Amino acid sequence: MGGYVQLTRVLGTLLKMILKVWAYSGLVLVFCFLLYYVYGGVFAVVLLFFALTGVLYHVQDNFLFYPELPSHSRVYVPIPSTLGLPYETVQTRGSDGVLIHMYFIHQPKDRQRLSPTIVFFHGNAGNMGHRLQNCRGLYHNLHCNILLVEYRGYGLSEGHPTEEGLYLDAKASLDYILSRSDVNHSEIIVFGRSLGGAVAVDLASREEYASKIWCLVIENTFTSIPDMAKVLLGWRLLQYFPLFFYKNKFLSYHKMKFLRVPTLFISGMADSLVPPRMMSELYNNCRSVRKQLLQIPDGTHNETWTAQGYYHSLAVFLQNCRIQMEEKGDFSNKIDISGWNNVQNI
């Protein structure tokens, strides 16, 4: 009897221990499950977030650059002679060896050497041939030469478009025009519209090139790509994204503080793509002593140049810059400005 009682007590004690261990084991298993459920999910979300941002980072070029829109833009580039503009097809290489295709539209030989030259950077779609109508207006109203630049990956140029690549193309194009002895190096105007405005700003903000540029003209361009992403996508989450999430940044707003060349800001107030306020922000942050904000009420993103008075306003700005430079005695040769006295209002 006493042995039986002792055995039952031992078995009872063992059973209690097993139940307690089982209970603790169950609690541990539940805790581990909850830990995995909470932190495993977070970890999975973090991995998914980095995977998606990694994919977006590498496809950003496709969201920004549209060299094949409209179709056949990579194989057919309209030529200036279709609009009666005398031109040369020229090529140059960037510092990385990429071959760039350009048109040099020149004034008659007796005026070519004395005329100002516009280095023209176009927007993010199509090719330089799609800007010939605008170039015809610049050619006849401002009596200037025009170097139309076709970025890498656009039209007949080699390579693939990237932010740094476009900057290299801009430098190569300016180096090219300065290598010619038949143009006036004292009056090089850098012009950029939309994406081309960001390219032009970068070029003019570089100390080694600023001294070679007479005037800068930018039209309907943006403050930066991160700012444009917030406008176009409307995601509040984007304001928390650090800059390194953007492959292409085009930080024109920050580069404004390095600008010293005379600058004309042309803002189409009916622009439905780039908010006109961005042009005002660029103007306000520009450190150039001579700057002007030209606001055109009915100007749209791509057609501001068709507004009445567009070429006249350009001519007035350039003529004032020329007179100011001559008063300072910065020109080594006097240039006839009579060609700008009767610019028609369009």
- Domain assignment present for residue 345? The answer is no
The answer to whether residues 142 and 285 belong to one domain is yes
The pLDDT of 144-156, averaged and rounded, is 98
The answer to whether residues 171 and 272 belong to one domain is yes
The answer to whether residues 133 and 212 belong to one domain is yes
The answer to whether residues 122 and 36 belong to one domain is no
| Domain coverage including residue 51 | 1-64
The answer to whether residues 50 and 95 belong to one domain is no
Q: What is the C-alpha to C-alpha distance for residues 257 and 18, in angstroms, rounded to an integer?
A: 75
Q: Are strands 87-93 and 99-105 parallel, antiparallel or unpaired?
A: antiparallel
If one compares 179 and 29, the residue with the highest pLDDT of the two is 179
- Domain assignment present for residue 337? The answer is no
- State the pLDDT at residue 236: 74
- Domain assignment present for residue 133? The answer is yes
Q: What is the C-alpha to C-alpha distance for residues 14 and 254, in angstroms, rounded to an integer?
A: 75
- pLDDT tens figures, 287-324: 999 999 999 999 999 999 999 999 999 999 999 998 88
Cβ 214 vs Cβ 328: under 8 Å = no
Assign 3-class secondary structure to 55-116: HHHHHHHHHHCECCCCCCCCCCCCCHHHHCCCEEEEEEECCCCCEEEEEEECCCHHHHCCCC
The answer to whether residues 115 and 243 belong to one domain is yes
pLDDT at 65 over 70: yes
- Domain assignment present for residue 346? The answer is no
DSSP 203-246: HHHSHHHHTT-SEEEEES--S-HHHHHHHHH--GGGGG--GGG-
- pLDDT tens figures, 219-269: 999 999 999 988 988 777 777 777 888 889 999 999 999 999 999 999 999
The answer to whether residues 112 and 56 belong to one domain is no
Domain boundary among 40, 64, 88: 64
- Domain assignment present for residue 71? The answer is no
The answer to whether residues 310 and 274 belong to one domain is yes
Cβ 157 vs Cβ 150: under 8 Å = yes
The answer to whether residues 138 and 164 belong to one domain is yes
- Domain assignment present for residue 75? The answer is no
Domain count, the chain: 2
- Domain assignment present for residue 154? The answer is yes
User: Taking the CB of residue 293, how many other CB atoms lie within 10 A of it?
Assistant: 15
The answer to whether residues 100 and 135 belong to one domain is yes
| Cis peptide bond prior to 86, omega within 30° of 0 | no
Nearest alpha-carbon partner for 138 in 118, 115, 122, 114:
118
- Domain assignment present for residue 335? The answer is no
pLDDT at 181 over 60: yes
- State the pLDDT at residue 25: 58
The pLDDT of 37-60, averaged and rounded, is 66
CA R_g for the chain = 31
The answer to whether residues 42 and 100 belong to one domain is no
Nearest alpha-carbon partner for 217 in 116, 335, 297, 298:
116
Give the residue numbers marked as catalytic: 194, 271, 301
* CB < 8 Å & 24+ apart, contacts of 237-240: none
Residue 266 sits in a domain whose CATH number is 3.40.50.1820
pLDDT at 97 over 70: yes
Scan for tokens 């040769």, then name that residue. 333
The answer to whether residues 51 and 98 belong to one domain is no
